[in-house]
Amino acid sequence: MKYNTINQESIAVLVKTFYPTILADKIVSPFFIEKLGDDINSPIWQEHLELLSNFWSSMALGDGDYNGNPLAAHFGMDLTKEAFAQWLHLFAVAIDRVYEPRVGDFFKERSQIIARNFMANLGVLK
C-alpha cells in the first residue's frame, strides 16, 4: 500500500525506507558511517531517524518539532556533486516506494531545492 497523505506516520515510513538504502550505497554511505556509524539500529542512528522525521514533519506539516540547523551539519564533510546526486536519487526511489506520485512530488521538489541550496552554501564545485 502506498500513502496518499503526508502525515507523521507516512513520514516515519519514508525515513525508515530511505536511510537503510543510504547505508547500503557505496557513494554516500561513507559520509554517514563517519558521523553515525554503520548500525542503523544503534541509538545514534535511531536518534538521527527521529531528527529527520521531525525535520520533514516541520517542512511538510509545519508542526515545528525541528529546531536544528540543517546546513551547519554538512560543513567539513567534503561533499561532492556526485554524492548529492546520489542522495537525491535514493531519496526519490524511497519516495516512490512510499507515496502515490502526486503526494511524493512534494518531497522530491523540496529535497532538490534544499540540495541546491546546500551545494551553493557549501561551495560544492566538483
User: Footprint of ligand HEM on this chain (CB under 6 A)?
Assistant: 28, 31-32, 35-36, 51-52, 55, 68, 70, 73-74, 79, 83-84, 87, 111, 114-115, 118
Supply angle C-alpha 58, 59, 65, rounded to 5.
10
Between 58 and 97, CB nearer to ligand HEM: 58
Give min distance, CB of 39 to ligand HEM, in A: 14
Give min distance, CB of 54 to ligand HEM, in A: 9
The residue to which cell 563517519 is assigned: 34
Between 24 and 73, CB nearer to ligand HEM: 73
In one-letter notation, the amino acid at residue 55 is F
Measured from each CB, the residue nearest to ligand HEM is 68
Give min distance, CB of 50 to ligand HEM, in A: 11
Query: Facing residues of 3 across strands?
Result: 99
Please, are residues 59 and 110 in contact by the beta-carbon 8 Å criterion? yes
* Residue 46 to residue 25: CA distance in whole angstroms: 19
